[in-house]
Amino acid sequence: MGSYEIRTVGDPVLRTVTDEVTDIDASLVKVTDNMFSSMYDAAGIGLAAPQVGIQKRFFVYDHGEHSGVILNPKIVESDGEWIFEEACLSIPGLSWEIIRPKTIHLVGIDLNGNEVSIEADELEARLFQHEIDHLNGVLLLDLLDDESRRQALSKLRELDLRRTPRLPSDPGELRLP
Ligand code: ZN
């Protein structure tokens, strides 16, 4: 298994809306293997294709209880509210309390081409929403209020991520998608 460099904020690939997956072939399977490996290396629980420079609609995840690959994921229902300290492998070193729906119903397809339908709650629901944001070019920064976003951007400038995109991530105590 190989491993990919995880792209960080400032990389334009993180801002693109991805294309649907139309073919499931051996090369896609190999890509997802490498994505799992990159995700585990970074102590993450989810990784979306754009985070490794691929403009396609899929992500891998493993939050301890369940793991998998979801192609062309879609949220068909969401309910409730849940606040969670959320971070991102593509924005190393920062995290914010973000409110999102607590439960969601996710549909998509797996690597065998079978339909997937998951009723997800709390961490799993959070993870799926976070990865789908990546597939739409959305980052956590977009979910912050103006003041938090200003602070975040100034911190990012301090960290100078734009000029050192290979800065290793430090997940610390947080489990990062
Ligand atoms: Zn992320």
pLDDT tens sequence across 6-24: 999 999 999 999 999 999 9
Residues 6 or more apart in contact with residue 56 via CB below 8 angstroms? 18, 19, 20, 21, 49
Please confirm, yes or no, whether 173 is among the known catalytic residues. no
DSSP 26-94: HHHHHHHHHHHHHHHHTTBSEEEGGGGT--BSEEEEE-SS-EEEEEEEEEEEEES-EEEEEE-TTSTT-
Q: What are 60-75's pLDDT values in tens digits? A: 999 999 999 999 999 9
Residue 49: its pLDDT value, please? 98
DSSP state of 12: G
Q: How far is the CA of 48 from the centre of ligand 1 (A)?
A: 7
Q: What is the pLDDT of residue 34?
A: 97
Which position among 77, 85, 131, 147 bears the catalytic label? 131
Model pLDDT, residue 174 = 52
Domains and CATH numbers, the chain: 12-162 (3.90.45.10)
In this structure, are residues 170 and 161 in contact, taking their beta carbons and an 8 Å threshold? no
pLDDT at 87: 96
- From residue 53, alpha-carbon distances to 49, 103, 118 in Å are 7, 29, 27
Q: State pTM to two decimals.
A: 0.89
89 CA from centroid of ligand 1 (Å): 5
Compute the distance from residue 92 Cα to the ligand 1 centre, in Å: 9
The one-digit pLDDT tens for each residue of the chain (177 residues) are 578 999 999 999 999 999 999 999 999 999 999 999 999 999 999 999 999 999 999 999 999 999 999 999 999 999 999 999 999 999 998 999 999 999 999 999 999 999 999 999 999 999 999 999 999 999 999 999 999 999 999 998 888 655 555 544 544 445 656
| Cα 85 from Cα 105, distance rounded (Å) | 22
